[in-house]
Structure 1
Amino acid sequence: MAKASQRASLQGPAFIRLLARFADAELSRTPPALSERLNQWFDWNRAITLSRALEGRLPAALDGPGFDSHEDAECARLRATLLDTIHAGLPATPARRIGAAEIQTHGAYAPYHQHYLGVQRSMQITTGTLRGRLRDMLALQSPAKARLAEVDAVMEATLSPREHSLLSRVPALLGMHFSRLHDAWRHDLAAPACPDISEDAAAVPCGPWLAVFEQDLRTALLAELDVRFHPIEGLLAALRSR
Structure 2
Amino acid sequence: MVHPPQRTSSRTSLRTSPRTSLSGPALVRLLSRLGETEVQASPQPLADRLSQWLGWTDAIALSTVLAAPAPAVVGGALASGEDEAQRCLSLRSALSKAIALDGVLAPAKARRSGSYGLARASQQAPVPPPPETDETDADYAVFRQCYIALQQKMETDIGDLRGRLRSRLAAVSPAMAKLATLDATMERSLAARERSLLGAVPGLLGAHFERLRKGAREAAAREAAAREAAAREAAAREAMAHEAATLAATAQASPIGATAPGAWLDAFRKDVQSVLLAELDVRFQPVEGLLAALRAR
Structure 1 and Structure 2 fold alike (TM over 0.5): yes
Q: Is 1:61 the counterpart of 2:73 in the alignment? A: yes
The answer to whether the 8 A contact 1:67-1:239 is kept is no
Deviation readout 1:177-230 (Å, 9 max, x if unpaired): 1111121233344449xxxxxxxxxxx964422222111111100011111100
Q: Out of 24, 30, 35, which is 2:47 matched to?
A: 35
The answer to whether the 8 A contact 1:15-1:224 is kept is yes
The verdict on how the C-alpha distance between 1:131 and 1:38 changes in structure 2, with shifts beyond 3 A counting, is same
- Name structure 1 gaps, 5 residues minimum: 193-203
Deviation readout 1:9-56 (Å, 9 max, x if unpaired): 352322112122333322235454322221211122221221222232
Map 1:10-89 onto structure 2 (within 5 A).
Answer: 11=22, 12-30=24-42, 32-68=44-80, 69-88=82-101, 89=103
Aligned residue in 1 for 2:118: none
TM-score by length of 1: 0.82
Aligned residue in 1 for 2:127: none
- The whole-number CA distance in structure 1 between the counterparts of 2:95 and 2:50 is 29
Aligned residue in 2 for 1:199: none
The answer to whether the 8 A contact 1:59-1:143 is kept is yes
Q: What is the one-letter code of the residue matched to 2:106?
A: P
Q: What is the one-letter code of the residue matched to 1:162?
A: R
- The whole-number CA distance in structure 2 between the counterparts of 1:142 and 1:175 is 47
Higher relative contact order (CA 8 A, sep 6+): 1
Q: Out of 221, 229, 237, which is 2:284 matched to?
A: 229
Q: Is 1:156 the counterpart of 2:169 in the alignment? A: no
Aligned residue in 2 for 1:98: 134
Deviation for aligned residue 1:137? 0.6
TM-score by length of 2: 0.68
- The whole-number CA distance in structure 2 between the counterparts of 1:93 and 1:48 is 52
Q: Is 1:241 the counterpart of 2:296 in the alignment? A: yes
Aligned residue in 2 for 1:209: 264
Secondary structure class of the residue paired with 1:98: coil
Aligned residue in 2 for 1:8: 19
Secondary structure class of the residue paired with 2:71: coil
Aligned residue in 2 for 1:196: none
Q: What is the one-letter code of the residue matched to 2:49?
A: R
- The whole-number CA distance in structure 1 between the counterparts of 2:54 and 2:276 is 27
**Largest Rg, 1 or 2:** 2
Once the two structures are overlaid, the 10-residue window that deviates more, 77-86 or 26-35, is 26-35
Q: What is the one-letter code of the residue matched to 2:76?
A: G
Q: Size of the alignment, in residue pairs?
A: 222
Deviation readout 1:104-147 (Å, 9 max, x if unpaired): xxx2x233222211111110100111111110110110111111
Deviation readout 1:135-185 (Å, 9 max, x if unpaired): 011011011111111111111011111101111111111111111112123
Deviation for aligned residue 1:85? 0.8
Deviation for aligned residue 1:93? 4.3
Report percent identity of matched pairs: 44
The answer to whether the 8 A contact 2:84-2:291 is kept is no
The verdict on how the C-alpha distance between 1:176 and 1:206 changes in structure 2, with shifts beyond 3 A counting, is farther
RMSD, aligned CA: 2.5
Secondary structure class of the residue paired with 1:63: coil
